[in-house]
Structure 1
Amino acid sequence: MSTFTVVKGAALAAYVAISAFSLPSMAAEDGLCNKNMAINYFLAPEATPELVEWLRHAYGAREVRVERPGEAFTKEFNAFRLRVLVDEENVLIKQMCG
């Protein structure tokens, strides 16, 4: 593993940990995805199961759906679901309620 990879991973972990302290309050209704939440990244992280679960908890969502390019999805809106969009390399592009 190169030094750059180690430094990048450590920086990402520190950024995610620090951003947890600045999260706005969770959704009022249990399991309702907080659409007013905004988490930005200096460097887009890989969408690991741990990160996806952390996002679900941060948004207060009851369920989560990871959407990958080329896969089909239903278009119905679900206020209790967090949608996590990733690219071909499983790097996080965007997260949103619905």
Structure 2
Amino acid sequence: MERGQLSEELLNEINEVSEIRSSRKSQADSLLSGINIASPAISQLTPILIDGTKIEVKPVLGGGEFQWGYVLISPIDLRGPNVADLSRN
């Protein structure tokens, strides 16, 4: 191999990365533009929350102190079991 030439292996890796980037860009473009009525642009979609989700005003930590803030409350506890209950024995 002469100076300034790329090895075949490195050239293949560069081409593979380029193809992956091109594929990702194509996917992103289709999500952002929307292909048709059945597949609207991602910016036109509305997120849906679990039934029973509500917004409550609660004290939250902000700027090093508690302040009143809006908190999403889910009907499902996503944190898992309480560790204190598991280690109580």
| TM-score normalised by length of structure 2 | 0.29
Report the structure number with the largest CA radius of gyration.
2
| TM-score normalised by length of structure 1 | 0.26
Relative contact order, CA 8 A, sep 6+: which one is greater?
1
